Structure 1
């Protein structure tokens, strides 16, 4: 009974401790419509954590190792940590930043309470992944069907068996970059499994216009229209996929205060889209056919590689222009030649002139 009371008190305190969002919401901006929800705030944050920070994370181990790094190794320079430790610690810090008081709550809690916190966050991450998998399974059929045409043979929206390399359309999209789907021998080997596709053999659907340049493998990578539709479907709103501003509910990005695309969010939608195109029935991190966890980690490791920073920065700029144009710094500047721009210019000229007058 005492344990139940302790958990009850902790759940109550956690609600107030994680209420703040990582991104400040201005009182001068119209927020999302709110409705009554009984969902635990930790589950709420966990849903966004899994989509935008790390999808295949063991939250309990992450928090345990993070506490160790914050305590026992507090005096050790971060650059002295192993690469895996640095990456893991960065994810842990991201988790804490999603709810500013979460750090104090974790540090002041007992081991049993920390496990409860981790379980609630994990529940949110797992729940979001399951919901997104279910939703994208049917939606992706619309995105891969050419406008005004139909798929032949027809692919049912809620059936996976006819997808993957078993179908001309999904097979072409899943064909590893560098292989030719139009080559009969290659296609036959992919269909019958003679060619085993590893998670780091990325499919051509990740590329703009589904075209891969072996001489410049960064060209168009993670810029396909299919990925844009997938990210909008998960993070903004269902209607934004068709660029029709008719949604009556706010997207997940707005709800969670997300104002820019993250490397993990791009990787997450790529993984979800990849699974939706395959014939696999159940999303599993250890599935050797879709190899989802290896697929996810291989993309995220590339985007986190310091050597690729310039390319990644350009990629993020491109994505933010696709998904969050209203929140970019450029969009907040007065339009060129507008009355507001001219007023700002005249003010700057006056200020400069006044400053040059000797006193």
Structure 2
């Protein structure tokens, strides 16, 4: 409707608004909306799949944590100790703090991506990462416990031939109540066959306290220790090697233990190699997944704790079993290898680790072909000799 302006004249009405839309069919618009929604759904699916893949990867990588770096120590404690070491480079550190720091360094070797990844994440993201790694770590320990519960019973039945066979599905009748298990768990400084020792251990008297301060007999070659040289044969137990292989290579490989390298076992080794090559490999072993090429002290300590638990009558993982502390036991093994008292002990430790690597992974040493080794081999030596002859001929001309 027209309005009067200030001069009394009628103002014409405003022109109608011009529509900018171009008419389309309802069907076409609906199709385009549907396509946009489908694209959004696909993007959400992709995001979910990426998150699932990351979760699966981190959980899988976490399976190496307990086996290779720390038996019980929370991963947060390892990270916190590394931060403390960085902030206090010149300060004094306790033995426990140094143990934690060595654990963090070992973790960084086992998971080479971990240190840089952790530094790039925000606090909430790093917490989520550590949570996934712990989930994998605890799952791996549970899997190994279940596997060795049956295998150790079978091995002890074969090795010790007890009058009453150990049941593979039952742990209540193991431990010191069982003669075969008791002999293997008995501290190296005592003889299980001595009735006084056996009764004292079973009655838990103060004269026969079984703790982590004694090496169990199952840790020794032929399950016997030399009281005058307690290092002799230690960590050379067949049961310990079999348990290690069951965890890190495969349960089926546990009975295939290579010889000691004196040359007398070459025929048997070749026969084993042919038998292995005749069987298709259907599952990647733990050692391959985590990139293990050599046996490490912490892996030996982990296997020893698992074997000790399998021989005992406790049914669920715990830090302390009666008077025996698994965490300190694990520390004792790691300290034996990682903190020897001098050069001679270090040489013996290195020789023992070489023995272990040969037992578990055979005699392939390609990973040891470092530049300082290769340079002394005949191909390089010949190249150097030829070059020297060329230089001599050039100088004579």
TM-score with structure 1 setting the length: 0.79
Partner SS state of residue 321, structure 2: coil
| Larger mean Cα displacement after TM superposition, 101-110 or 250-259 | 101-110
Q: 2:330 & 2:254 partners in 1: Cα distance?
A: 23
Distance in 2 of aligned mates of 1:11 and 1:305: 45
> 1:157: Cα distance to partner?
0.1
Distance (whole Å) between structure 1 residues aligned to residue 384 and residue 144 of structure 2: 53
Q: Which has the higher contact order (CA 8 A, sep 6+)?
A: 1
**Structure 2 match to 1:29:** none
Q: Of 310, 316, 320, which residue of structure 2 is paired with 1:282?
A: 316
Which aligned pairs between 1:61-72 and structure 2 lie closer than 5 A? 61-70=77-86, 72=87
Residue 222 of structure 1, aligned match among 232, 235, 254: 235
Give the structure 1 partner of residue 282 of structure 2.
Answer: 248
- 2:129 aligned partner: 117
Max Rg structure: 2
> Residue deviations 1:313-351, cap 9 Å, x none?
111011011012244259979xxxxxxxxxx85884575
Q: Distance in 1 between matches of 2:380 and 2:79?
A: 52
Q: How does 1:146-165 map to 2 (within 5 A)?
A: 146=158, 150-165=161-176
Which position in structure 1 is the counterpart of 2:270?
none
SS in 2 for 1:146: helix
In 2, Cα distance between equivalents of 1:97 and 1:14: 25
| 1:180 correspondence with 2:217 | no
Tell me, yes or no, if the aligned pair for 1:62 and 1:92 is still in contact at 8 Å. Answer: yes
User: 2:114 aligned with 1:102, yes or no?
Assistant: yes
Aligned position for 2:3:
none
Partner of 2:293: 259
In 2, the alpha carbon distance for the partners of 1:92 and 1:171 equals 36
One of 67, 70, 75 as aligned partner of 1:51: 67
Q: Any idea what the Cα deviations from partners look like across 1:224-274, whole Å, max 9, x if unmatched?
A: 100110010000012211226245212100111110101000011011001
**Equivalent residues in 2 for 1:79-94 (5 A)?**
80-94=92-106
Compute the displacement of 1:128 (Å): 0.9
The whole-number CA distance in structure 2 between the counterparts of 1:203 and 1:145 is 18
Match of residue 320, structure 1, among 348, 351, 357: 357
State how far apart, in whole Å, the 1-side matches of 2:204 and 2:232 are: 29
Residue 96 (structure 1) shift: 3.0
Matches within 5 A, 1:321-340: 321-329=358-366
Which deviates more from structure 2 when the two are superposed, residues 110-119 or residues 183-192?
110-119
Q: What is the RMSD computed on CA atoms of the aligned residues? A: 2.9
Secondary structure in structure 1 of the residue aligned to 2:320? coil
Relative to structure 1, the CA distance from residue 173 to residue 358 in structure 2 (aligned partners, 3 Å threshold; closer, same or farther) is: same
State the 1:197 CA deviation: 0.4
1:355 to 388, 392, 395: 388
How many Å apart are 1:13 and its aligned residue? 8.0
Structure 1 residues 12, 102: closer, same or farther in 2, change over 3 A? farther
Distance (whole Å) between structure 2 residues aligned to residue 288 and residue 105 of structure 1: 40
SS of equivalent to 2:168? coil
Provide, for residues 266-323 of structure 1, a one-character-per-residue CA deviation record: whole Å limited to 9, x for no partner: 0110110011111112121133354222221222222221314222111101101101
Partner of 1:33: none
Give the TM-score taking structure 2 as reference length.
0.72
List runs of 5+ in structure 2 lacking aligned partners.
1-45, 257-274, 371-376
CA distance in 1, matches of 2:300, 2:174: 23
1:293 pairs with 323, 327, 339, which one?
A: 327
CA gap 1:209/1:111 in 2 versus in 1, 3 angstroms: same
CA shift at 1:103, angstroms? 2.3
